[in-house]
Structure formats: structure tokens, C-alpha cells
Structure 1
Amino acid sequence: MQTSGSNAILSLRRFVLLARRQLSASAQSAFSGSQTNAQPIPPSPDKFGDKMRGWQLHNYGDIDELQLSEKVKIPQIRSSNECLVRIRTTAVNPIDLAMLRGYGAAVLNKMRCKPGDGIEFPLILGREFCGELVQTGMGVPSDSLPLGARVWGVVPLQAGVGAHAEYVAVPSYCLAPAPKELDDSEAASVLYAGLTAWSGLYITGGLGGPCGAATSSGGGAHKRVLVLGGSGGVGSLAIQILKSQKVQVLATCSENAVEMVRNLGADFVVDYNNSESMQELCKYAPYDIVLDCSGQGGQKAAESNFDFRQYITFSSPLLANIDKQGLGLGALQNVFDLVQTNVKSFSQRGGLVKWGFFSPAPQGIQFLQKLVEQRKLMPLIDSSYEFCDLPKAFEKMKGGHLRGKIVVKV
């Protein structure tokens, strides 16, 4: 005969057994649900070790300074807004060739190096990419940038590890989901040149008013813009950007690229080697903006045969003067150059010379993304190389006369 104490013990045991069964069933159900609803997470870089392949630069100089290493440390996420991307495709831009030779080192190294740390090398070049998002900081919203997403992005100029490697870490504002309308090579060919053109037109040039620079709204309808160098990476995208905003576009290029530039949408295209054709540009003057994508520089503005309100060049002496003369004297030289150039251009052509720069602005990325999705912008690809042949891509860039972008498959 069981006592009341033993009955209590049996009841307690039954209660514990029932609770365990319910907890087990609940846990199994929750696990099953999480397996169903969870997004696929790509393998962590740790599973591949902490090393990657990358083209390093140990000294400034020519293309032979590029060295392929298979023991480069994978970049670490060091702030809450950073993202780590496994690169599929990257590109070679004129700025990469310039930085290979030491352009901007005096300024960029001060931004790149930590206080008291004068270590400058090794560097990895590369300013744009398309790839797969593999890690994010705690402050990156998973709804807009989920792990495993195919993304396109740019690398700030001061970054010591660029996109000529298997992985790159960049701030989240430099990234966005890659448009499905573009393949990997095309997606790696838009943002650096596109943001350079967008920044020159909307930030420096004020096209579209204050909203044109501060938002992704664009603007500039019924303005008249002359694009110098319409067949290159920046020029070809600038033409498409302008035509999408109902701007009247004129362009210059070499004779064998005239038909291609016309197909981009330019209203009038001339061969810059033909003096008679160049003279016809005077009929359309004054231009609201002359966008120099051909590397002529601001000194050439006053020598033009046509009037303009703004002459915007991406070949400014800003960093080069500081490289040669140091920060103090270089800054004074920049002021002198800008004043001297503008006195000549304003007195002879009636307009001002301004310097345009690449800007990794998120509203600029959104603007370009909308144009791609609307099929109003498509990059031109000049040539494509395998990762192991990246120096050949630099040689191609060095040769000039490109018809679009040079891409590298990682």
C-alpha cells in the first residue's frame, strides 16, 4: 500500500516526464520551422582558412610591380557598418593605373595609415566589383543586405585592400544588391565610372538643382551638355545618364567610335581629330556643361572654340600638386591653378572651370540602379581577362583608346 508521500513522488515524476516530452516536441517544431524559414547562409571565410589570393603592390612604379600572392590575409570587419564580399568580377580603371604609379599617395596614405603607423605597403588596387555578401557588421540591416546576396559595390580610394583580390571589406553605403538585368561582368563595370560621371554632373555641375545631388532623382531636362571622350568608360555612361534625363547631348570621340557613340544616344557626334567637324560644335554653344572625360584638363578650357557656362574635368591637379610639393605648398598651388584657369576661361569663353571627382554616394548608386532596371543604362565592355592575367588588363588600360570597360573574372 502506497503512502501519501510516495503518491506525491509518483505525481512529480509524471509531471517532469510530461514536461520533458512537451519541451522536446516544441524544440523540434521550432528547429523545423527555423530550417524552413531561414535564408541560406554561405560558408564562412574561416572554412577556407584566413588567406586569399590578391594582387599586391610593394612599390610604386610600372605594371611589373604587381605581384600575385596566395597568402594575403582576408580583410576583417572592423566596424558595425562594414560588409565582407567574396568577389566574382572586378575591373581595371584609369585611377588604378595612376595609383600604381603613386598618384595621390601623399594624401591617401595619411587617410589610410593609423596614427603612428607609417606602413604604406603592401597595397591592393581595384575600385569596383560584383560578388557575394558573406559577412556583415551588427549595424548592417539584413532586410536590405541579406547574407548570400549578389551585390555590386565600390571601394573608397583610401582603402588599402581593394577589389583586385578574392575578398574585400567595404562600408555598407558602398554596396547595393546587384541588378538582375546585368551579369557579373556588366555589374562590375558600372559603379566607379558611373558614380564619377554622376558626381561630376550632379554634385560638381549642379545639374538637376539641389535635389539632383542630394537625392537619386536626377534631372537636367532641356540642358545642353558636351561630353569630351564619349567612347570611354566614364563618357559612355555619362551619355546614357544624360539622355535618360532628356538632356541634349553632343560628344567627341575618334573616327572609328562615332557610330558606337551615336548608338548610345548622343544627338551629335564628331571626330575630335577632324578640325572641320570640331568647328561645328560652335553652332550649339554655349553649353550648360562641357564634361571632360578625355583627360584634357582645365588648362584646355580657354583654348576651346566654343563658349560654355561650366567646364568640368576629371583630370584635376589637386592630388598631383600635393604629391610633388607637399600638403602646404601643394594646396597653395591648387588655389593658384584654379584661379588662373578660371580667369582665362571666364574672360575667353564666359564660363568657369571646375574639378570633378568620384564620390561613393549611396544616392548615386540608387540613381544608377534605377536606370539599369529601366534599361536606360548598359555598360560597354572593351575586354575581359582572367584573374591570373590581371597585369595584361593593366597593359590594355595603359595602351588607351578603349571602347568601354576592362573587366577581370576572379
Structure 2
Amino acid sequence: MLEISTQKDVMQAAGVIVLRPVRRCALLPRLSQANRQLSVSTGATTTDVPVVTPLPAKSSLKMRAWQLHCYGDIDELQFTDKLKLPQIRNSHECLVRVRATTVNPIDLAMLRGYGSTLLSMLRCRPGEDIEFPMTLGREFCGELVQKGMGVDNAELQLGTRVWGVVPVSQTSGAHADFVVVPASCLAPAPVELDDSEAASVLYAGLTAWSGLYLTGGLGGVCGATTTSGGGANKRVLVLGGSGGVGTLAIQILKSQGVQVLATCSEDAVEMVRCLGADHVVDYYNPVAMEELCNYAPYDIVLDCAGQGGQHAGDLKYDFRQYITFSSPLLANIDKQGLGLGALKNVSDLLQTNVKAAQRGGLVKWGYFYPAAHGIKFLQRLVERRKLMPLIDSTFEFGALPKAYERLKGGHLRGKTVVKL
């Protein structure tokens, strides 16, 4: 049984209160304003006030979506406006009308077939081996319009403005008018963020949170299992501090009293410093990079720049943990199959740790994990005005392939948003 929303009220758009981190400067108060000044060239709208409308009659239950029918490049994305709405198949699932979504590096990688060997096993139902058509999109902000009878979270009422993430095991993602996700992957969207900003937090934010608190154990057992966070007086180096994960990682760390150092390109140094980083260096400047030795050892070196575990052995400074989000785990399985790929993963991890042993630390692989208490942790930071996503560019839904092209071009300063 499902509950169906019939509300027609206009959702109230709340003003964004600008984040003011420990290190204040003139740039940061303009971040919220810059996020709202959407480029005319992308065809973005200028309002985030969603109208809450009822679902259409059953005879017209169709929606728009960008689908993938085979792996390849961006030109494989196909638009349809005749797709059936995704169905709730579990009593703990929810149907959300998507108002804004994003394009993440994982979407571009999955478009090309990354992780298909293992993920297709998770996506396909028993007795089936069909993984296409696939709809990408890992995060969103929207309106809750249906929910299973097993959803007992009092905060998730029909018509609620929500933000959420889509597990990578799903073939139906958020690059569509509607998406179905487990209730544990949803929460009321913070009023401090508009739709575009709210859609830009959870995937990168949960990736950073998971790397720091689940993989890195920064806050101990409580940090990994509750919303308490932690890490005061620790020292963390963030490689790639200007990207989607890096910008949120810096803000998370500073909110917990961590000493943060970061690397980025020269043109992003001021921006990263305004996020609160205590010391920022241009990674193209060898003299500046040498300065990082003066702050060693690091409790964690967080690789948000795609350097990979092999890079750990080349570092000139000591660390206790090197955590990278660019692990070969899925790629090895794609190339060599489940059995041999798993053995190759063990071998790769051992080799990188042997190489990095001279620095006295461990190399670990970070990952995205859609934990409900991780979402709550990020929500509290937003409410305390300690976390604000950066938006690089915004596109209309019909121009979604252009958002992929923007991401493919690299050198982003924040997230790529798509508005529906």
C-alpha cells in the first residue's frame, strides 16, 4: 500500500545564510550569491521555488529521463519523455519528484562502464541479467510524493522537501523526473540551502565523511557510528581541496576543530583558504609543496585529487594514514573478473602499503557510503552554518549532456547542477 500526496501548496524558498568558517575573508560571503547567479549560457532558471503538484492520473503516468542503453561516451545518453514512473517495490522505499540533481565523476565513470561487472550483479534481480536501460544520477533535492507503508520516519511526510542519495546498486537514478530510494537515503532538506545547493551536498559530503570517519576512524568508534564527528587537534592534509569532495572535506574538518592543510591549483588557492584551510599550497609549485614537510606527520592524508594509493610512497612527508578515493577495486574486477580481480585488489593494497611503509603509515581505500547518520551529520553542519556547497555551473534538464561535457573538461570549482 502507498500513501499518495495531493498537496498543491507552494514550497517556501528560504534564504541562504552564508557560511563563515574559522578563517574569514571577503570571498566566502560571495559564495552563496555566486551559487545563485546561474549562467545564462547554461539555460538555467532563476528561481528555486517548487510548486507542489499532485501526481498525474494513472493513465498519464509518464516522466522524462536520460537513459543509457549501452556503455560508451556522452553521446550514448538518450532522452525520453515517455518513461513509466519507477515503482515502489519495498515497504521502506519512497518516491521523490526530483527538482534538482547533479553530475558527479562517478556518473561519468559509470557511463563508460566502470564497475559494471560487480554492480550489475547487485542491480539485477534474481533470475534476471538485464542492467539496461540505466538512469544515472546519484543525488537530488525534491519533493516526497509517495512512500511505502513501512516508512515510519515522522520527518518524512508527504509533500516534504527532501534531499537524498541513490545507492550505486540501483539502475534508476536521479537524472529523471522521479526516483525511488530507500527511506534511509532521504531526509528533510535544510531550509538554509536552495534546491540547487541541497542537491550538491550529499554524494560528495558522504564520500568525504565516510573516508574520514569510517575508513580513517578520525572520531573513533563514536565518529563512525553516530553523528558526533570528532577529530579536534588532529592534522589532516587534503589533496585536491578545490573539487566537490575536497571543498566539503575541508569544511567538515574545520567544523570539528581539525588543523587542515590543502593543495590545489594556483587559481583556486584563495577560494580554498576562504573555506577555512589553515595552509594552502599550489601543487604545481615544488617549493610550496616542500613546505608541507614542515607540518608532518599528518594524521590523515586525504586524496581527493585522484592520485591513487601508489602516490603515497612518493610523498616526502610522514603520515599515519593515506586515504584515497581512487582505488582500483572495481576496475580490477572489471578487467579480471570477480575472483582474479579480488586477488589483484589484495595484491595492489599490499604493494602500496609496502611502498608507503617508509613513511610509517597505512594506505587505505575510501568510498561513498549512504549512511543515515552520515546524512544527519551533514544536515547539522548546514544548520549550524558550517557547511556550504560550491556550485561550478548549472544546466537545464534538457541540456544534461552539456553538464557531462563540463565535468569531462575538468578543473571544476564545485558541483555541476542540473535543474528540472
CA root-mean-square deviation: 1.3
Q: Secondary structure at the match of 1:56?
A: strand
Give the one of 359, 367, 378 matched to 1:368: 378
- C-alpha distance in structure 1 between counterparts of 2:185 and 2:77, whole Å: 26
- The C-alpha deviation readout for 1:69-122, integer Å capped at 9, x for no partner, is 111111000011000000000000000000000000001100000122111210
Instruction: Tell me what 1:231 maps to.
Output: 242
Which runs of structure 2 are paired with 1:177-192 in the superposition (5 Å)? 177-192=188-203
- C-alpha distance in structure 2 between counterparts of 1:242 and 1:47, whole Å: 48
Give the one of 249, 269, 278 matched to 1:267: 278
Instruction: Tell me what 1:162 maps to.
Output: 173
* Residue 254 of structure 1 pairs with residue 265 of structure 2: yes
Shift of 1:46: 3.6
For 1:404, give the aligned amino acid.
Answer: G
Does the 8 A contact of 2:332 with 2:341 survive in 1?
Answer: yes
Instruction: Tell me what 2:26 maps to.
Output: none
Structure with a larger share of its residues in helix: 1
Range moving further from structure 2, 114-123 or 292-301? 114-123
Give the one of 333, 338, 342 matched to 2:344: 333
For 1:88, give the aligned amino acid.
Answer: R
Instruction: Tell me what 1:198 maps to.
Output: 209
- C-alpha distance in structure 1 between counterparts of 2:165 and 2:246, whole Å: 19
For 1:116, give the aligned amino acid.
Answer: G
Which runs of structure 2 are paired with 1:259-298 in the superposition (5 Å)? 259-298=270-309
Shift of 1:175: 0.1
Q: Which has the larger radius of gyration?
A: 1
Instruction: Tell me what 1:353 maps to.
Output: 363
Instruction: Tell me what 1:406 maps to.
Output: 416
- C-alpha distance in structure 1 between counterparts of 2:245 and 2:370, whole Å: 15
Which runs of structure 2 are paired with 1:301-312 in the superposition (5 Å)? 301-312=312-323
* Residue 88 of structure 1 pairs with residue 99 of structure 2: yes
For 1:293, give the aligned amino acid.
Answer: C
Instruction: Tell me what 1:78 maps to.
Output: 89
Q: Secondary structure at the match of 1:123?
A: coil
* Residue 321 of structure 1 pairs with residue 309 of structure 2: no
Shift of 1:50: 1.9
Does the 8 A contact of 2:95 with 2:147 survive in 1?
Answer: yes
Q: Secondary structure at the match of 2:60?
A: coil
- C-alpha distance in structure 1 between counterparts of 2:156 and 2:271, whole Å: 36
Shift of 1:44: 2.9
Does the 8 A contact of 1:230 with 1:293 survive in 2?
Answer: yes
Q: Secondary structure at the match of 2:100?
A: strand
For 2:402, give the aligned amino acid.
Answer: K
Instruction: Tell me what 2:389 maps to.
Output: 379
Q: Secondary structure at the match of 2:101?
A: strand
- C-alpha distance in structure 1 between counterparts of 2:66 and 2:342, whole Å: 33
Shift of 1:141: 2.0
Does the 8 A contact of 1:41 with 1:147 survive in 2?
Answer: no
Instruction: Tell me what 2:15 maps to.
Output: none
- C-alpha distance in structure 1 between counterparts of 2:270 and 2:309, whole Å: 28
Instruction: Tell me what 2:132 maps to.
Output: 121
Does the 8 A contact of 2:322 with 2:361 survive in 1?
Answer: yes
Q: Secondary structure at the match of 2:128?
A: coil
- C-alpha distance in structure 2 between counterparts of 1:95 and 1:378, whole Å: 21
Equivalences, count: 371
Which runs of structure 2 are paired with 1:128-139 in the superposition (5 Å)? 128-139=139-150
- C-alpha distance in structure 2 between counterparts of 1:46 and 1:165, whole Å: 19
For 1:402, give the aligned amino acid.
Answer: L
Shift of 1:315: 0.2
Shift of 1:41: 8.7
* Residue 61 of structure 1 pairs with residue 68 of structure 2: no
- C-alpha distance in structure 2 between counterparts of 1:363 and 1:116, whole Å: 34
Q: Which residues of structure 1 form unaligned runs of 5+?
A: 1-34
Does the 8 A contact of 1:42 with 1:148 survive in 2?
Answer: no
- C-alpha distance in structure 1 between counterparts of 2:222 and 2:372, whole Å: 14
- C-alpha distance in structure 2 between counterparts of 1:242 and 1:204, whole Å: 15
Does the 8 A contact of 2:52 with 2:143 survive in 1?
Answer: no
- C-alpha distance in structure 1 between counterparts of 2:56 and 2:313, whole Å: 54
For 1:285, give the aligned amino acid.
Answer: A
Does the 8 A contact of 2:353 with 2:362 survive in 1?
Answer: yes
Shift of 1:45: 4.4
Does the 8 A contact of 1:311 with 1:353 survive in 2?
Answer: yes
- C-alpha distance in structure 2 between counterparts of 1:391 and 1:175, whole Å: 26
Instruction: Tell me what 2:29 maps to.
Output: none
- C-alpha distance in structure 2 between counterparts of 1:181 and 1:306, whole Å: 39
- C-alpha distance in structure 1 between counterparts of 2:241 and 2:173, whole Å: 27
Does the 8 A contact of 1:91 with 1:126 survive in 2?
Answer: yes
For 1:91, give the aligned amino acid.
Answer: T
Q: Secondary structure at the match of 2:223?
A: helix
